[in-house]
């Protein structure tokens, strides 16, 4: 069940969530998102955004696992797309992060995503931190359920600082010959036994759950083609013999639909009511935001074939919309309609 990625590497997005025991009463939950652009550059606002690390952001929580209640919250953003500048009138991507403090005291339950959206969605927040927090909101209840399923004596044997659970998601985009984009997503959950109860490293594995998915995104229309997905669960003595299960029939309805807009709504409609589909849903929900990041790495194609016959030179850029790239209007704080980056400009057609 290898993902059939081929072509030129464009972009990788990594999201990881690590849950560890802080003390007898609380957990430490850390989520990280990293966007690594592998080629090209994007003219954006008054600058050129080259390849390399585009986003590196972290959300760290202290959590009461009994109620899934957030006790404290910290945000770190070492790499952001927009630093303060004259063009942004001193604003930057870090400005909305303090809004997340409004979620301290909230429980990561079935209503949490709605509250998160109200506090940090659209022009109020950062789309990348929002995507990360949404994934954390799904992973944390799963970690709690897996931990509660262990014998009480094993839970009591945990040591402070010990990792309990880790989720990793990787989105890789490659440009295929002909201009399509191959999009692969891998999600992996690992739950661990207590250190004090094991004698060898492999005994630490309480369970591993993996979902892999792939789609070819075609133009025009950014339509999903050749969609497939598969899952595997391994634990205990079943490490070598665990089989992959094809899930493609579960998502056949998204074949031929646009990846943007509206994919999340479609996926929730197909998979949202079935608890057994939760990992598949979490995997596929990363396709659309991941694809937006991948698109920024195909700037060379736009330069070679710009719309309406625009001649791409430094001189023509001053008189045209070349370089007016960025997020869709109101997709985040920096690209809000009332902000300096969109003032007096036509709305961009695609997000970076």
- The conformational region for residue 178 under phi > 0 = left, psi -120 to 50 = alpha, else beta, is left
**Overall pTM surpassing 0.85 (yes/no):** yes
The pLDDT assigned to 164 comes to: 97
Between 309 and 203, name the one with better pLDDT. Answer: 203
Confidence of residue 257 (pLDDT cuts 50, 70, 90): very high
Q: What is the mean pLDDT of residues 42-69?
A: 91
The pLDDT assigned to 311 comes to: 58
Is the confidence at residue 209, as pLDDT, over 90?
yes
Confidence of residue 308 (pLDDT cuts 50, 70, 90): low
Tokens of 40: 């090209």
The pLDDT assigned to 322 comes to: 43
The pLDDT assigned to 306 comes to: 66
Report d(CA 128, CA 58) in Å as an integer.
10
Confidence of residue 180 (pLDDT cuts 50, 70, 90): very high
Between 237 and 125, name the one with better pLDDT. Answer: 125
Between 54 and 274, name the one with better pLDDT. Answer: 54
Instruction: Quote the percentage of the chain above a pLDDT of 70.
Output: 91
Instruction: Quote the percentage of the chain above a pLDDT of 90.
Output: 72
Helices (H), the chain: 112-120, 127-148, 152-156, 263-271, 278-284, 287-295, 299-304, 314-319
Cα distances (Å, whole numbers) of residue 28 to 102, 153, 161, 167, 168:
19, 21, 8, 14, 16
Where are the chain's structural domains? 8-307
Residue 274 · residue 303 · CB < 8 Å:
no
**Ranges 43-52, 287-296, 301-310: which has the least confidence:** 301-310
Q: What is the 3-state secondary structure (H, E, C) of 60-76?
A: EEEEECCCCEEEEEEEE
Q: What is the mean pLDDT of residues 329-351?
A: 73
Is the confidence at residue 145, as pLDDT, over 70?
yes
The pLDDT assigned to 100 comes to: 98
The pLDDT assigned to 348 comes to: 45
Which residues, in sequence order, are CB contacts of 167 under 8 Å at separation 6+?
15, 16, 17, 135, 139, 142, 187, 188, 189, 190
Cβ neighbours around 350 below 10 Å, total: 15
Confidence of residue 350 (pLDDT cuts 50, 70, 90): very low
Report d(CA 293, CA 37) in Å as an integer.
8
Q: What is the mean pLDDT of residues 62-89?
A: 94
User: Quick one: DSSP state of residue 149?
Assistant: T
Closest CA to 224 of 187, 269, 261: 261
**Mean pLDDT, rounded, of the chain:** 90
Report d(CA 253, CA 83) in Å as an integer.
41
Report d(CA 227, CA 213) in Å as an integer.
7
The pLDDT assigned to 88 comes to: 87
CA dihedral 31, 35, 56, 41 (to 10 degrees): -170
């Amino acid at each position: 069940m290898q993902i059939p990625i081929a072509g030129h590497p464009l972009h990788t997005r990594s999201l990881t969530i690590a849950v560890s025991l802080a003390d007898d009463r609380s957990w430490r939950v850390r989520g990280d998102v990293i966007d690594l652009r592998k080629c090209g550059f994007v003219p954006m606002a008054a600058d050129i955004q080259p390849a390399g690390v585009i986003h590196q952001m972290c959300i760290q929580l202290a959590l009461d696992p009994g109620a899934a209640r957030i006790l404290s919250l910290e945000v770190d953003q070492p790499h952001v797309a927009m630093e303060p500048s004259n063009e942004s009138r001193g604003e930057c991507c870090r400005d909305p992060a303090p809004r997340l403090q409004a979620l301290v005291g909230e429980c990561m339950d079935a209503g949490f995503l709605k509250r998160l959206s109200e506090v940090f969605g659209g022009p109020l927040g950062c789309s990348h931190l929002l995507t990360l927090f949404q994934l954390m909101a799904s992973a944390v209840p799963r970690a709690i359920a897996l931990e509660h399923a262990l014998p009480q004596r094993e839970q009591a044997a945990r040591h402070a600082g010990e990792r309990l659970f880790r989720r990793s998601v990787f989105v890789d985009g490659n440009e295929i010959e002909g201009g399509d984009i191959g999009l692969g997503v891998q999600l992996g959950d690992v739950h661990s036994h207590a250190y004090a109860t094991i004698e060898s490293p492999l005994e630490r594995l309480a369970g591993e759950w993996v979902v892999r998915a792939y789609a070819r995104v075609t133009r025009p229309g950014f339509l999903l083609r050749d969609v497939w997905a598969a899952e595997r669960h391994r634990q205990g003595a079943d490490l070598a013999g665990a089989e992959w299960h094809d899930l493609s029939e579960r998502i056949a309805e998204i074949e031929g639909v646009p990846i943007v807009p509206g994919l999340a709504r479609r996926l929730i409609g197909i998979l949202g009511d079935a608890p057994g589909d939760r990992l598949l849903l979490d995997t596929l929900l990363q396709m659309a935001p991941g694809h937006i990041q991948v698109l920024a790495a195909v700037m060379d194609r736009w330069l070679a074939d710009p719309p309406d016959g625009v001649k791409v030179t430094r001189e023509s850029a001053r008189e045209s919309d070349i370089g007016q790239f960025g997020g869709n209007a109101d997709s985040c704080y920096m690209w809000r309609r009332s902000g300096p980056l969109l003032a007096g400009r036509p709305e961009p057609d695609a997000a970076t």
